[in-house]
Amino acid sequence: MIVAASTETDTLAGFSNYGNQTVHLAAPGEKIYSTGHNTSVPYLHKQGTSMAAPHVTGALALMMARFPAYTYQQLIQKLLDNSDNIPALNNYVMNGRRLNLEKAIDPPLIMF
């Protein structure tokens, strides 16, 4: 999957790759609180498609746990089918898609 980085206002991040025929979806890639590589600053805000791609990877991992019988292709399709269409992303990613994990794991798994 090819992932673009979106902002908190659902626009394409200025540093992100894009291509409405090649990029599958956007995911949060700006102001991501993550671990630092310096012991004096253990946590910091980062940005980049390298912050967006792990959101998609994590979403797929959760979907694999939720739908264990699904093939990889079925998981990808379900993720894409349940992504949000964001008009501001239409010229940058296929169908203006932005990751929506809540919709992708619907119906939710409820354990009692």
Q: What is the pTM of this model?
A: 0.87
What is the rounded average pLDDT for all residues in the chain? Answer: 93
**Residue 90 confidence (pLDDT) above 80:** yes
pLDDT (tens digit per residue) in 32-76: 998 888 778 888 899 999 999 999 999 999 999 999 999 999 999
Q: Tell me if 111 is assigned to some domain.
A: no
CATH number for 37:
3.40.50.200
Q: For tokens 């949000």, what's the residue?
A: 84
Please give the single-letter amino acid code of residue 97.
R
Q: How many domains does the chain have?
A: 1
Instruction: Report the candidate in 85, 81, 76, 79 with the shortest Cα–Cα distance to residue 105.
Output: 79
The range of the structural domain enclosing residue 97 comes to 3-102
Say whether 89 sits in a helix, a strand or coil: helix
